[in-house]
A = this chain, B = another copy of it.
Amino acid sequence: MATLKEIAQKAGVSVMTVSNVVNGKTEKVSKETLERIQSLIKEYNYVPNLNARSLVKNNSQTIVVFVSTFVSHENVFKDPYLSEFFGEIENLIRQNGYYVLIQTIDAIENAATLMKKWKADGAVFISPVSPEKIHQLKQECDCPIVFIDSCDSEETSLTVGINEFKGGFIATKHLLTLGHRKIGIAGYYDKKSAIVQARYQGYIAALKEFGLDEKDAVILHTVTTYEAGLYFGGAIANHEYDITAVFATADLLAIGIMEGARRNGCIVPRDLSVVGFDNLSVSQIVTPKLTSVSQDLKNKAAEAVELLFKAIRKEEIAQPHIICDVQLELRQSVLERVL
């Protein structure tokens, strides 16, 4: 492997001059020297050693993308939402001329060490992190970090999320508008999860707008998997819940509910209307196609990366907490309720 020094010797110039042309500071170099060096670089196939550069510059052109395996200790890239979002993030970081180091972690504690080891210029956490952990991470790290789908109101935290409240609201309102009055909400109802809480609040707000209230809420507490959906779909079909529609806080859960209901003789949307959340591409493939709350992943990723690079460039950040819009994708899993 050729080094700066070798190229400099062949060219009969100093190392510094070669360094300058490698880094595009060509205004400091005479035309002849420039050309001579450039052809030498080509000839010897010179590639700068990033480790050496990073050592002196004390950075690394690297962004670490963290994804947690807290919940499932499975392969997190099986999750289509996470994979697709990661793809968008990777794309944008690369376009900014940075490298992406991907790291799945089971304990947030290791994250800070990793960033320091690498002299990372920034980091993105694409799975939710609690406010306490966010606080801790900010203490330990000196590089900017953007947190996705995490709730933290501190001015100095950078977060990008979606309007969870609105998601719950428009899903429920859609069902109400079509005449449904007995509407369940299915999901992992965890008081600690701000995300789920917000969706639930949106659900309640919609109910209230139609003269119902909290005691009309029907909560189907469950993990958000296809299999759980099968179970609850069956339960609904067997009238264990008195509802004509259900808002599932995850598409896979919704799809499971549709299938579970069908297996028990309850046809969606004729007998039961279903709205999902996430608008996974699979929701367009199942029968009936699933009506779902959709987020614009491309936009969300763009906001996150923009926020990150603004912070890296030490620009002023007017709005450190970005909330992306959601909308309802109308498809075939919802039908008017004839009263």
Contact = CB atoms under 8 A, between A and B. Distances in A.
Interface of A: 1, 45, 47-52, 54-55, 60, 75-78, 80, 83-84, 86-88, 90-91, 94, 99-104, 113, 116-119, 140, 226, 252, 255-256, 259, 262, 281-282, 284-287
Contacts of A88: 75, 77
Contact of A49 (B55, B77, B103, B287): B55
A104 B226 CA distance: 31
* Copies of this protein, total: 2
A47 to B, nearest CB: 4
Given A49-B117, A119-B49, A282-B282, A87 B94 contact: no
Given A51-B55, A83-B87, 8 more contacts: A49-B119, A76-B87, A77-B83, A77-B90, A78-B80, A80-B83, A100-B103, A282-B282
B55 A75 contact: no
Contacts of A76: 87
Given A47-B116, A285-B255, A87 B91 contact: no
A332 B255 CA distance: 18
10 contacts: A50-B118, A51-B54, A55-B55, A76-B87, A77-B87, A91-B104, A226-B284, A256-B285, A259-B287, A282-B285
A55 B52 CA distance: 6
A99 B101 contact: yes
Nearest to A252: B285
A214 B273 CA distance: 49
A140 B104 CA distance: 31
A90 B102 CA distance: 8
A117 B77 contact: no
Given A77-B84, A91-B75, A285-B286, A50 B117 contact: yes
A276 B65 CA distance: 34
Contact of A102 (B45, B100, B255, B287): B100
Contacts of A75: 84, 87-88, 91
Contacts of A50: 117-119
Contacts of A256: 285
